[in-house]
Structure 1
Amino acid sequence: MKLRVLILINAAAVAIALSAVNYYFQHNWYDVGITFVLSFAISFIIFYYLIEKYVYSKIKLIYKLIHNLKLGRDLRDALGDHIVSADPIKDVQQEVKEWASQKKIEIDELRKQEKFRREFLSNISHEFKTPLFAIQGYIEAIQDDNFEDTDMAAQFLEKASKNVDRLSYLIKDLDEISKLESGEIPINYSKFKVNDLIKEVFESLELKANQHSIRLIFKQKYDEPFLVTADREKIRQVLVNLIDNSFKYGKEGGTTSVSVFDLHDQVLIEVTDDGIGIEEHNLPRLFERFFRTDQSRSRQIGGSGLGLAIVKHIIEAHQQTINVRSTAGLGSTFGFTLQKVKQIQFPAIPVLKS
């Protein structure tokens, strides 16, 4: 509608201009009227044809292309579609705004992914170089000594072996996290008592806890065990990783406790330590691959730097959530949820009195 009004105004302007010129030379109102009508009609047709052919049709094509691209359809489908719109210029304006906003979000996301890729490549390069250079150094030292000092050679071989183990753990964890992301590792759901699983994990880590002088505590507030549905072995891995992490960053003579809370249709499991804690600005990145809050201490402790990332992927593969809260110098608490098995309520059977 606005387009036709614009054409009418332009045609009228041309007709008035030509009529004024005719009146200037002829001074005949009859000729002026004919000139106005003819020039108005011809101008309207010309303007309408030009705008329709070179502007309107192009705008309609752009609109169809943007609209179909937003829907993820093929360009050939977009070109072949016929769109019905009362005001395609207004629609194009709205579509372009939405399209530009969407593209900005996509570009920002691509930039984040590119930054993550660079950091990941840098981290993985560093993680591989450290043990490789150590192995290379030990082997060269043994070769230079020509095995004359057998005690030194044995010590260096043992250290090289530990670095080989570190590489093996790193490769295994990288393979596992890759398969978790791609969905190649299935989640084998089963029903089990999470209380029993926690006790089993405590028993398997009791020796390691004693080595770190850390006491394990299971805060079981409820007499009834919690029956959950999840992949038992993967949840075992989650608990082992979290508890083992509390050993690495705990304090000598400290405690690591596991608590279970009833959340109606879910179970919340929390692993709490009283170790060095985590500074607040590090919390958002804690589950990233290779992210370490204390680089120097982390190198001494060892590990692949992928434990928390694997934990996060396992919990999210169960369509559950994991979170962390921590205070530097006081300790940390990692909590994750599991789906509780729904109990079927049977109606009470009335007792017939004789």
Structure 2
Amino acid sequence: MLIKKIFQTPRSLALLIAIIVSLLTGIGFVLISTLPKNQQLLILIAYTLFVFTITFLASLILVNLFVSKRIKPLYKALYSIDKANADLVEELDQNNLLQRLEYDLRIWVEAHADEIDRLKQMERYRKEFLGNVSHELKTPIFNIQGYVLTLLDGGLEDPTINRRYLERTEKSINRLIGIVEDLELITKLEAGELQLNMERFNIINLIEETFEALEHRARKRNITVKFDKDYSKPIWVYADKKRISQALYNLVINSINYGKDGGKTTVSITDIGTRVQVEVNDNGIGIDQKDLPRIFERFYRVDKSRSREQGGTGLGLAIVKHIIEGHKQVIGVRSSLNQGTTFSFTLDKPGR
């Protein structure tokens, strides 16, 4: 324990060297004072050389021990190299080892501080994600449980409620299936495991098919879905048709869910050289600026009660983002509260 304390700091080493020198000097003084005067000078010179040699060797040994105990582990941790003590002492002798260690250690601390912050953030997201998944799954499961218990308690024989409760049970089951399928899809997208089947297709036709699929939903909400103008000619793109259809569906249904009564959703296409830009614009409730940075996160909801009421999984926009980025394209959003929202993304044109 005492040896470990001695090599903890340079100050303790210096103290030990001072003690050694003081003891040798004291012993020498006593010995020289007992000699005849005509021999004292010669003995003093010889003894001085002896003290210098002993002190130098002791200092060298102590420095080597200090390097071995303190600097070597730090060097190994920073550079993953097990360097010999002698080499480290030589570098220390050249007056650049400590400067390099100080600089590299500072860089290492900064880099790992960022990594630690990132890991903490990931842990927060993980907990939030698990909490959201639990909540999303719990709601339809409890609904199903309630409907089934009601039917078992006699509702099954009551023709006024049995079919209605079975239909509600089916709706909750479909919502569960939707959540599981979306989770599976986004997991594959994030892991880069989903293969894109690239093909040439007319984006105008795909948007028209999306309008037709959501016509009933839009009419129910008294919202008009349309193009910004008449596109008489086809506009060809090169992408995975199925995935882009899914992205368009999610964006348009999102605009309907967050639209105002009597509102409208407008889709426009712009030629931007080797790409086309698709915009889905609505005049709905809009998004607060503080929510915009998180709008593409899994399960993030701007209006929680409203989106759950519409039956969404909370994964739609996250899936859209990963689909578009999987095509090596960009997606953006701009919005003003109570004025509306515009989502835009790009797609490549077919090669010539």
TM-score range, shorter-chain basis?
0.7 to 0.9
Over residues 52-103 of structure 1, what are the superposed CA-to-partner deviations in whole Å (9 max), with x where a residue is unaligned? 23425752343133213xxxxxxxxx33799885533222222222222222
Q: Which residue of 2 aligns with 1:184?
A: 193
Q: Which residue of 1 aligns with 2:256?
A: 247
1:285 aligned to 291, 294, 297, which one?
Answer: 294
Matched, 1:142 2:143: no
Q: Which amino acid aligns with 1:121?
A: L
Question: In the superposition, relative to structure 1, how do residues 209 and 147 fare at CA in structure 2: closer, same or farther (>3 Å)?
Answer: closer
What is the alpha-carbon distance in structure 2 between the residues aligned to residue 199 and residue 317 of structure 1?
A: 24
Q: Which residue of 1 aligns with 2:7?
A: none
What are the equivalent positions in structure 2 for 1:154-169 lying under 5 Å apart?
154-169=163-178
Q: Which amino acid aligns with 1:41?
A: T
Q: Report the count of equivalent residues.
A: 327
Q: Which residue of 1 aligns with 2:65?
A: 53
Over residues 198-219 of structure 1, what are the superposed CA-to-partner deviations in whole Å (9 max), with x where a residue is unaligned? 3333344334333332222323
2:55 aligned to 38, 43, 52, which one?
Answer: 43
Matched, 1:31 2:43: yes
1:312 aligned to 294, 317, 321, which one?
Answer: 321
Q: Which runs of 5+ in 2 are unaligned?
A: 1-12
TM-score by length of 1: 0.81
How far the C-alpha of 1:197 sits from its partner, in A, is 2.8
What is the alpha-carbon distance in structure 2 between the residues aligned to residue 171 and residue 149 of structure 1?
A: 33
Q: Bigger shift: 205-214 or 104-113?
A: 205-214
Q: Percent identity at matched positions?
A: 40
Q: Which residue of 1 aligns with 2:237?
A: 228
What is the RMSD computed on CA atoms of the aligned residues? Answer: 3.1
Q: Which residue of 1 aligns with 2:6?
A: none
What is the alpha-carbon distance in structure 1 between the residues aligned to residue 206 and residue 144 of structure 2?
A: 38
8 A contact 1:228–1:340 mirrored in 2: yes
Over residues 134-175 of structure 1, what are the superposed CA-to-partner deviations in whole Å (9 max), with x where a residue is unaligned? 111111112212534211122111111111111111111111
What is the alpha-carbon distance in structure 1 between the residues aligned to residue 275 and residue 147 of structure 2?
A: 52
2:116 aligned to 97, 103, 107, which one?
Answer: 107
How far the C-alpha of 1:331 sits from its partner, in A, is 0.6
1:173 aligned to 170, 182, 194, which one?
Answer: 182
Q: Which residue of 2 aligns with 1:73?
A: none
What is the alpha-carbon distance in structure 1 between the residues aligned to residue 99 and residue 230 of structure 2?
A: 63
8 A contact 2:324–2:330 mirrored in 1: yes
Over residues 94-147 of structure 1, what are the superposed CA-to-partner deviations in whole Å (9 max), with x where a residue is unaligned? 222222222212221111111111111111111111111111111111221253
2:206 aligned to 197, 204, 220, which one?
Answer: 197
How far the C-alpha of 1:16 sits from its partner, in A, is 9.5
Matched, 1:98 2:107: yes
What is the alpha-carbon distance in structure 2 between the residues aligned to residue 111 and residue 150 of structure 1?
A: 55
Q: Which amino acid aligns with 1:53?
A: L
2:82 aligned to 55, 79, 84, which one?
Answer: 79
Question: In the superposition, relative to structure 1, how do residues 223 and 154 fare at CA in structure 2: closer, same or farther (>3 Å)?
Answer: closer
Matched, 1:119 2:131: no
Question: In the superposition, relative to structure 1, how do residues 13 and 142 fare at CA in structure 2: closer, same or farther (>3 Å)?
Answer: closer
Partner SS for 1:79 = coil
Partner SS for 2:189 = helix
What is the alpha-carbon distance in structure 1 between the residues aligned to residue 274 and residue 250 of structure 2?
A: 25
Matched, 1:256 2:259: no
TM-score by length of 2: 0.81
Partner SS for 2:214 = helix
What is the alpha-carbon distance in structure 2 between the residues aligned to residue 204 and residue 161 of structure 1?
A: 21
Question: Displaced runs of 4+ in structure 1, greater than 6 A?
Answer: 10-17, 80-84, 221-224
